[in-house]
Each structure stands twice: as structure tokens, then as C-alpha cells.
Amino acid sequence: MIVKTSPLKLIFPALVVVLGICLCMTAGCTSDSSDTVTPEATTAATPAATTAPAAGTTVSGAAKGSVTAVPFATLIPFLPDAPAGWTADEPAGASWTIEDGQWTWATREYSKDDARATVLIQDSAYYDVGYWESWNSFIAFETTEGYYKQNKVGGYPAWEVFTKPASYGTWVGVNERFMVYISVEDGSKQDLDAFVNAINYGGLANLK
């Protein structure tokens, strides 16, 4: 399997940002795609940050593996078509074994001139995997170089990040099970919003 690095670079002066591959830390993994983008988790820490994540954004108390992750083929249709002016690559997906269960994800990359975007949707099956591993360590802050801020997308808790000069990202936690990640490199906030608003979060929430 070819592993690609997420395009989002979250490096601030005086800020340590660790980009680690959060896959199968204690278990083996199997992939059903030969050319996939490996989801990464991002942990941010800075002495200047004073606002902790708000209540209600933690990973669910549901038992790990108490549901069966939907196949990645089910997630692929939730990846948006290319917005106007953008070109979309073919979507990719994978399933990963963990403990006695599985989790899945699907992803697609997009391009427009020099701008690049990635959308990734994961079904964690309530395991603490992928982007859920770093969800509770996100901290709201703003500097001269960018920000992390907490908001809501489609009624679901979300985090948005900006790093100068033109790196944008959003994480959306759906029912404390599904995670949607969108990143835009060398684009604009309007580009990020176009992708964020193109996703059917309610449809994801209804998946069983």
C-alpha cells in the first residue's frame, strides 16, 4: 500500500505540532485499497493556549466495537463532487483491523491550479483510532501565524485550523463515531467552506 502524507502542515513558531500516523498502534491492519491516503492525527500543544475543548466533544462512551463499521464503499458516496473550478481524483478506501473488529475510511483528493484539497471520512466503530485519537487534545488558540478554533458544522462539533499563508483544515465529529476531515492547501477559506458545506452530515449520522 502506498502511504501519502496529508497536505496540511500545522507548524507555528514556538508551537510544536506532531503529525503522527495514528493507525493500528497496538494491532495489525489490512487494507482493501492499493493506493490510499493514510489518515493522520494531529496533536497541538502551546503554552499560550488557555481554552480547553468544550464539553460534548469527547469520544463516545459507547463500547469499542459495539457496532460494525460500514464498508468503505458505503462511505465513498459521501465524498463530495468537485466544486466549480476544481478537479477530483478517483476516491479510495480502506478497512483496518483492530482488536476484534474493524474501522474504515474513504478519501478523495482535489486540485485547482496550485491549490490542493483532501476530504477523508472515517467510521471508527467507536474505537479510539485515526483522527479520534487526537480529538480531545485539540486546544483553541490564535496567534499571528494562525489559529485553532472550535465551532459547529451541520449541528455537529467541529474544529477549524488555519496556518499562514494558505493552509486550512476542518475536523467534524458526527455522533462521536464518524469523523470528517477536510484540508485545503494554497487555497482560501471560501474553498474550505465549499468542501465543508458539500457533505451530507445527516446522512452519515443515519448510517448503521
Count Cα neighbours of 100 within 13 Å in the Cβ-side half-sphere: 5
Phi–psi pair at 192, nearest 5 degrees: -60, -45
From the list 183, 205, 34, 71, the residue with the least C-alpha distance to 118 is: 183
DSSP-derived 3-state class of residue 139: coil
Query: Please, which residues have CB within 8 angstroms of residue 197's CB and are 6 or more apart in sequence?
Result: none
List the chain pLDDT tens, one digit each, 208 residues: 333 444 344 333 333 333 333 333 333 344 443 344 445 443 333 223 333 333 334 445 678 878 999 999 999 999 999 999 999 999 999 999 988 789 999 999 999 999 999 999 999 999 999 999 999 889 999 999 999 999 999 999 999 999 999 999 999 999 999 999 999 999 999 999 999 999 999 999 999 8
Q: How many helices (H) and strands (E) does the chain have?
A: 4, 11
| Cell numbers standing for residue 99 | 482488536
| pTM reported for the whole predicted model | 0.73
